[in-house]
Amino acid sequence: MHNGERTKSWNMTKQIRSLKESQEIPELDLAYNVGIIYEAGLDTTNIALEVFTLACATQPRFMTSAQEELDRVVGRDRLLDFSDQADLPYISAVVKEVLRWRPVSAGGIPHAVTQDDEYMGYRIPKGATVIGNHWSIHMDDSIFPDPMSFRPERWLENPDLPLYAFGFGRRACTGQHISNNSLLIIIARILWAYDVKPGLDGDGKEVEIDDMAFTSGFNSRPEPFEVRFVPRSEKVVEVVRREFDEAEKDIDVLLQGVREAQGLSAAAAIKR
């Protein structure tokens, strides 16, 4: 937190410090509040990207449909950006399917019931712990037929399908819009630029990848597996290099841009 306060530009530490509500909160609690955003946001989105990569390597059929959409909407001369988002329904469906197929918090998060309740004849007293198990819900084949198949099409066929990867109720993930946007842009750019394929063994044969090999824990991620990111053409390599060279890389400039885009008021130096 102290490092955050010493930077030149805007950041989340300064933003939280500037809020009226923060003034009465003890320093350590404030540090946890800042830290949770990092902790809750970074690993979860990374895991979802690993799951996406796993889906590409083990159930590659969907990549063709995704790349058809990208080539039609974006063309081959530029990297896509957020202005393309509304025209990429298939990629949005890929993001949802990633979060359904292997939910990051597979076992769900315990919640306390705020009032006496009844469900299917079971009495659930106030204060009892209930857990909505994300894995079981997402694998319910009466709602998601053939649930082990990675099929983004299911979200286009039925846009009302439920997705519970971000949890439930008033404690549901506060970062879900950030993460949906991050996943969409990263997944779309990867698929625009690369074919994602299994790695090769010593004999040049594609390695077998187990799509059920996951770590256990609160969040669970795929066990390490090998893949290749194969550029789809020479032109793609040229565009990626050009965009990288032109991209802003100064973190202070980037963060200041976030502040301006969001209309946030926190000044660079905040008095306590």
Nearer to ligand HEM (CB atom), residue 74 or residue 134: 134
Q: Which is nearer to ligand HEM, 68 or 140 (CB)?
A: 140
173 in a labelled binding site: yes
Q: For residue 109, state whether it binds ligand HEM (rule: CB under 6 A).
A: yes
Q: Please state the closest distance from residue 167 (CB atom) to ligand HEM, in A.
A: 2
Three-state DSSP state, 48: helix
Q: Is 144 in the site for ligand HEM (CB under 6 A)?
A: no
Q: How far is CA 191 from CA 155, 198, 230, 233, in A?
A: 19, 15, 10, 12
Residue 135 found at the interface with ligand HEM (CB under 6 A): no
With contacts defined by CB under 6 A, name the span among 61-69, 77-85, 160-168, 264-272 that binds ligand HEM.
160-168
The interface mask with ligand HEM, positions 19-58, x = CB under 6 A, is -----------------xx--xx--xx--x----------
CA distances from 141 to 104, 115, 136 (A): 19, 31, 10
Region of 85-93, 135-143, 166-174, 226-234 interacting with ligand HEM (CB under 6 A):
166-174
By CB neighbour count within 10 A (0-12 exposed, 13-18 middle, 19+ buried), where does 120 fall? exposed
Tokens for 200, please give them: 């090769």
Which candidate, 149, 81, 85, 136, places its Cα nearest to that of 106?
Answer: 136
Among 11, 53, 105, 220, binds ligand HEM (CB under 6 A): 105
CA gap 126, 138 in Å, rounded: 27
Q: How far is CA 181 from CA 163, 171, 247, in A?
A: 16, 20, 19
Report how far residue 106's alpha carbon sits from residue 109's, in angstroms, rounded to the nearest whole number.
9
Closest CA to 66 of 89, 83, 86, 48: 89
Shortest spacing between CB 257 and ligand HEM, in angstroms: 17
Identify which of residues 48 and 88 has a Cβ nearer to ligand HEM in the complex.
48
- What phi-psi label fits residue 75: left (phi over 0), alpha (psi between -120 and 50 degrees) or beta? left
Q: Which residues pair with 43 in a beta bridge?
A: none
Q: Which of residues 170-189 bind ligand HEM (CB under 6 A)?
A: 171-175, 178-179
Shortest distance (Å) from residue 170 CB to ligand HEM: 7
Binding test (CB under 6 A) with ligand HEM, winner from 90, 144, 166, 194: 166
- The C-alpha angle with vertex 43 and arms to 42 and 47, in degrees rounded to 5, equals 125
- Total residues contacting ligand HEM (rule CB under 6 A)? 21
CB closer to ligand HEM, 152 vs 198: 152
Shortest-Cβ-distance residue relative to ligand HEM: 175
Summarize the annotated binding site for heme as residue ranges: 173
Contact positions vs ligand HEM (CB under 6 A): 36-37, 40-41, 44-45, 48, 104-105, 109, 165-168, 171-175, 178-179
